[in-house]
Structure 1
Amino acid sequence: MSIAMPFAAGTTLLSEVTVAVQAAGRTLRERHTPHARGVSLDEIVAEIHANDDAVLEVLREPLLRARPGSQWAEDELAGGALPSGEWWVVDPAEGNINHVHGTDDWAVTATLVRDNRPVLTVVHLPLSGDTYTATAGGGAHLNGRSLKVSAKTALGAALVGTGQARPGEDERTLRRIGDSVTAMLMSGLVVRVSVPATLQLIHVAAGRADAFWQFSDVRSGLVAGALLVAEAGGTVTDMEGGPWNAGSRDFLATAPGVHTAALAVLASV
């Protein structure tokens, strides 16, 4: 299920973006330690900002140079629709909280969004060396090999997941997350609750998981995975089943065979 028109300039630009994101990944990998950094909240936040700053120093200019006329979405935790045109939506350390705690679930992501629809993305996992890429109309790939979503047709056999999009969500959203997990525990096979969103969505795109949902409009955690899942043959919508874009209030990405059932479960919360 495509979420954007084919991206004609994809091949050359994708190569340039991949080189830039992989270089940024080397910077983030050099900053990784096998132990947690920071004890107090202030210390943890400082480490998170230091990671972001270090990566953006080597990533921002190459991306803007690769796509003349493109603009930069400054706040990685922002949501809602972007103005018209082309925007880079980047998470310099997707899963930053994991990085500063010494675990390995983190990545560097860069996605070009045109008129609120992702058209090109690169997700690089520095510890494994894996690189996930997609362009609108050009398919989704892992290290150059095509990705395809799961063929599952029964939600009761599905591995599904969700997670919070940002710290400090409002109480209604947090309770809704909890209620949705309970509902899915009763309907799916296994439910994963983890961050970041992108690292769950790459598993959906690769057919290793079957669904991911989030009650959020945080763009940086969704645009990359949305394009990967769609280009791998998955279904990407909002919680009402309508087409998803960067301005949507919530998000659901699934293997096509479980989308209707997942949507029905989530509609109950």
Structure 2
Amino acid sequence: MPEPIVARSAATDAELLTELEKAVRTAGSALRERFGGVVTARTRAELMRALAANDAAAAASLRPRLQALRPGANWVEEELDGGVLPGGEWWVVDPAEGNVNHVRGLPEWGLTATLVRDNQPVLTVVHLPLTGETYTARIGGGAHLDGRPLIVSATTDLGLGIVATSQARPDEDEKVVRRVGASITEMFLDALVVRVTVPASLHLVNVAAGRIDAFWQFAGARADLLPGALLVTEAGGRISTTDGRPWAPHSDSFLATAPGVHAAAVSTLTR
């Protein structure tokens, strides 16, 4: 039986994070039950229906629980949206992060939920139902994997580093696509290994866990980047734009790195 929905409007952020983790795990079970064979779509419309069905199955469990946890918080309806939010509290959720992988029978997918307060992510959960891993972070409270503290890589030589990038969204503007392609070429020249796949959140949890050394993306949605931005920051990493400026949700690029390779990554991406 699913756990009861309990309103916690007066809860501390630490208490909220505990309850948020439970809610995301419960929704993850619904998404895992749907995972298995390959969904072959003959048209774009068929693919979109399959993706929407996954979103709806997870959101049906997740949304009422999060709204009960924080009744006054707003809800971002579209996970592909970017930019600055109005003031106040917002739930930024991707109920099926890496959804296209899920429907094609690939394992790189999960769920993310982040509470944003005045455009600052304050707590987040990224859950991977196939492995059972749950990544959590709270501003000022550190980043954790299943309760164990996370710390970013100690790598100081980009030439020894594993780096990654991701496609921000389908049908991206041609100029952005060409910019991505050029950046991958430059990273092939400077880094040890370059990984290119979706979704962004799975790369970012790997940066926070010290498994890879840098992740970059041009453009991007809040639901793609806010969970990982908080996880990486709380694990001791650096967040900026690809040219080294402070990052904000409306920025046109994003870079998350271990501190020791940040300057080199900026140099590569601005060459």
Shorter-chain TM-score bucket reads over 0.9
Distance 1:57 1:235 in 2: 35
Residue 110 of structure 2 is matched in structure 1 by 107
SS of aligned partner of 2:171: coil
Query: Which AA in structure 1 matches 2:106?
Result: T
Q: Determine if the alignment matches structure 1 residue 38 to structure 2 residue 41.
A: yes
SS of aligned partner of 1:192: strand
Residue 256 of structure 1 is matched in structure 2 by 259
SS of aligned partner of 1:87: strand
Query: Which AA in structure 2 matches 1:123?
Result: V
Q: Which has the higher contact order (CA 8 A, sep 6+)?
A: 1
Residue 135 of structure 1 is matched in structure 2 by 138
Query: Which AA in structure 2 matches 1:100?
Result: V
Residue 93 of structure 2 is matched in structure 1 by 90
SS of aligned partner of 1:264: helix
Residue 204 of structure 1 is matched in structure 2 by 207
Distance 1:81 1:253 in 2: 19
Q: Percent identity?
A: 57
Query: Which AA in structure 1 matches 2:64?
Result: E
Pick one of 26, 29, 51 that aligns with 2:32.
29
Distance 2:46 2:152 in 1: 40
Query: Which AA in structure 2 matches 1:207?
Result: G
Q: Cα deviations across residues 166-202 of structure 1 (Å, max 9, x unaligned)?
A: 1000000000000000000001101000000000111
Pick one of 101, 120, 124 that aligns with 2:123.
120
Q: Cα deviations across residues 45-70 of structure 1 (Å, max 9, x unaligned)?
A: 11000001111111111111111311
Per-residue deviation at 1:37?
A: 4.2
Note the 1:208-227 alignment, pairs <5 A.
208-227=211-230
Distance 1:174 1:80 in 2: 19
Q: Determine if the alignment matches structure 1 residue 145 to structure 2 residue 152.
A: no
- Root mean square deviation of aligned Cα: 1.2
Per-residue deviation at 1:20?
A: 0.5
Pick one of 174, 180, 195 that aligns with 2:177.
174
Distance 1:39 1:209 in 2: 36
Per-residue deviation at 1:86?
A: 1.0
- Runs of 4+ that moved beyond 4 A: none
Residue 51 of structure 1 is matched in structure 2 by 54
Residue 240 of structure 2 is matched in structure 1 by 237
Residue 270 of structure 2 is matched in structure 1 by 267
Query: Which AA in structure 2 matches 1:209?
Result: I
Pick one of 59, 74, 77 that aligns with 2:77.
74
Q: Cα deviations across residues 107-135 of structure 1 (Å, max 9, x unaligned)?
A: 01000111212110000100111100000
Query: Which AA in structure 2 matches 1:188?
Result: A
Structure 2 portions without partners, runs of 5+ = 1-10
Distance 2:159 2:12 in 1: 41
Query: Which AA in structure 1 matches 2:29?
Result: R
SS of aligned partner of 1:15: helix
Residue 189 of structure 1 is matched in structure 2 by 192
Distance 1:199 1:239 in 2: 19
The TM-score, its normalising length taken from structure 1, stands at 0.94
Q: Cα deviations across residues 190-227 of structure 1 (Å, max 9, x unaligned)?
A: 10000000001111000000000000131110000111
Moved more, 131-140 or 62-71: 62-71
Distance 1:83 1:247 in 2: 12
Distance 2:154 2:69 in 1: 37
> How many aligned positions are there?
261
Query: Which AA in structure 2 matches 1:75?
Result: E
Quickly say closer, same or farther: Cα 1:156–1:200, change in 2 above 3 A.
Answer: same
